[in-house]
Structure 1
Amino acid sequence: MTTLPGDAPGNNGSAIQALEHLVQQALSGLNTSLTIIGLCGAQGSGKSTLARALKERFDRNGVPTALLSIDDLYRTRVEREMLGRASHPLLRTRGVPGTHDIDLGLGIIASLERGEAAPLPRFDKAADDRLPDSAWEEAAPGTRLLLLEGWCVGARPQSEADLASPVNQLEREEDAEGIWRHFVNSALAGSYQALFARIDRLVFLAAPSFDVVLRWRNEQEEELRGRAPSPGVMSGKEIARFIQHYERLTRHMLDDLPRWADMVIELAEDRSVIAIRNRGGLL
């Protein structure tokens, strides 16, 4: 089960407390109508749990707060089927850059910056499709803080040289010519950077390595099975293939983001916090 990162030996307080302090500094120091905090990390790292806890704290403190997952911006199943036929079959699978409706996310931010209410889309992972508008939540007028969380939030594109060699079986067998990974990288270099540029502070939950992600993702799927049994919930074999779609960019982020994210929360294999660092060093 995904747990909230808690107290780490040798650190001054918990991850949620350190993050709360970062957000408070951003709210008081930025002359903007809307402060946007990005939370990113590999699948199962606890970012959604952390974001929900943070929202609850700031709501209680009288700061109108909205929570948006980049997962809720996934294109509909029909849209991804069309994308898969037009560009590459692997784009039928949700997750990588190019499978999100970034214009939808930018529109939400623009509405919130104007002080307006904004509908927040919701995606049903078990059904692998976006929920109808009637099931969406709404960010209230005057929202002051937006928490944008997701596995690839803040990611930067790779170099052409880095795209040359496949990183796993999926890429070797189903993207031998590199069409899919070049499409994903181009999407990431385009509209995704326009979205990520709106982030005021970026927090990265750093897994110890990519190798632990399969176990974390299996634990997530167990939670889905427990909440809503559905034929859309994946088996262990399906999960192992699924996370190969994420492997390239996850490995790149583990190497790239710790050098420039505003805060890095280093996690052990059990998700306990090893260290919390900001650009000035250890907290």
Structure 2
Amino acid sequence: MPSAAHPVPAAGFPQPFVSAVLDDALAAGARVYGLSGLQGTGKSTLAAQLVATAAGRGLRAVALSLDDVYLDRPERERLARAVHPLLATRGPPGTHDLPLALETLDALLAGVTVRLPVFDKRTDRRRPRDVWPRVDPVDLVVFEGWCLGATAQDEASLERPVNALERDADPGGQWRRHCNAALALAYPALWQRIDRLLFLQPPGFEVVPGWRWQQESMSYTAPAPEPGMTLAEVERFVQHFERVSRHLLQALPSRADAIATLDAARVPQELRVLR
């Protein structure tokens, strides 16, 4: 694959790579093309580039993010009180509004005008429905999310904590078992809406904290700076995702339809079409 002159995703992915990914979606006849990748891999950047490239070919495409169907903060706070305090933190399995995600995808597949949900991470709240963007019928939905295609682990794998967060905040394993049960029972229906899945494969989970910190740092240097997490907060935050992320790295290469391998600078090295 061609290299980029600047780090990805700040400068975007190389256009030949974007075009090759779109070719893969179109050759497969996909209506919903899934982009799965760990935090910081550039999923939203690639999704936006795919939509723009599709428009250049006369196709109507739209990007939908799993991040925009989080449960609203009050709902997660209720879960935190009823099940486990860690469920107040958005992102892990069990903290998404799956009926909303399914309703949105099904409306897009039905070819009707639909409002796309929007979640405001600055306030940790879902924005009111009347401000959600209205989208007319489209040819292609690019659906992106950090855990797309994730499957549940076996019970034995849940026994030992994978990091300090699980050791200290979930010593009995109640939180991780709740997340795992959600992956086993609730998420497969959503994954079934995906016609074709591309995995943006990083060198390993070890790069994720640094990539996530790079994203966070951009909030401090933007023209209108926004309050963000400290480095210590980012390092703790990514631990919420470590277990499922490591399982994805093991399991998804055999389940995805295509794999884009990324180097430590997030530059795509190869696009492999598996099926």
Distance in structure 1 (CA, Å) of the matches to 2:19 and 2:59: 16
Match of 2:14 in 1: 6
CA shift digits 1:53-86 (9 cap, x unpaired):
0001112322221211000001111111111001
Of 24, 36, 39, the match for 1:40: 36
* Equivalences for residues 145-160 of structure 1 within 5 A: 145-160=140-155
- For 2:250 and 2:204, the matched residues in 1 are separated by 10
In the TM superposition, residue 123 of structure 1 has moved relative to its aligned partner by: 1.2
Q: Which amino acid aligns with 1:49?
A: T
1:1-283 superposed matches below 5 A = 2-3=9-10, 4-6=12-14, 14-27=16-29, 35-140=31-136, 142-227=137-222, 228-231=224-227, 233-279=228-274
Q: Quick one: distance in 1 between partners of 2:26 and 2:109?
A: 18
Please report how far the alpha carbon of residue 207 of structure 1 lies from its aligned counterpart in structure 2 after TM superposition: 0.7
TM-score by length of 1: 0.90
- Runs of 5+ in structure 2 lacking a partner? 1-6
Give the superposition deviation at 1:6: 2.8
User: Please, which moves more after superposition, 120-129 or 247-256?
Assistant: 120-129
What are the superposed Cα offsets for residues 165-222 of structure 1, whole Å, 9 maximum, x if unpaired?
1100000011111100000011111221100011000000001010100110011112
Q: Is the 8 A contact 2:149 2:191 kept in 1?
A: yes
1:110 deviates by 1.7
Q: Is the 8 A contact 1:64 1:145 kept in 2?
A: yes
98-107 or 221-230: bigger deviation: 221-230
Question: Cα deviations across residues 16-37 of structure 1 (Å, max 9, x unaligned)?
Answer: 122011111123xx6xxxx000
Give the 3-state SS of the residue equivalent to 2:40 in structure 1: coil
Contact 2:70/2:126 (8 A) holds in 1: yes
Structure 1 unpaired stretches of 5+: 8-13
Contact 1:260 1:279 in 2 (8 A): no
| CA–CA separation in structure 2 for the residues paired with 1:37 and 1:106 | 15
Alpha-carbon distance, 1:125 to partner: 1.4
| Superposed displacement of residue 223, structure 1 | 2.0
CA contact (8 A) 2:102 2:190 kept: yes
**Distance in structure 2 (CA, Å) of the matches to 1:138 and 1:165:** 45
Deviation at 1:225, TM superposition (A): 2.9
Residue identity in the other structure for 1:222: S
Aligned-partner residue type, residue 111 of structure 2: G
Q: How many residues align?
A: 266
Letter in 2 for 1:86: A
Identity %: 44
Indicate the residue corresponding to 1:11 in structure 2: none
More off after superposition, 233-242 vs 221-230: 221-230
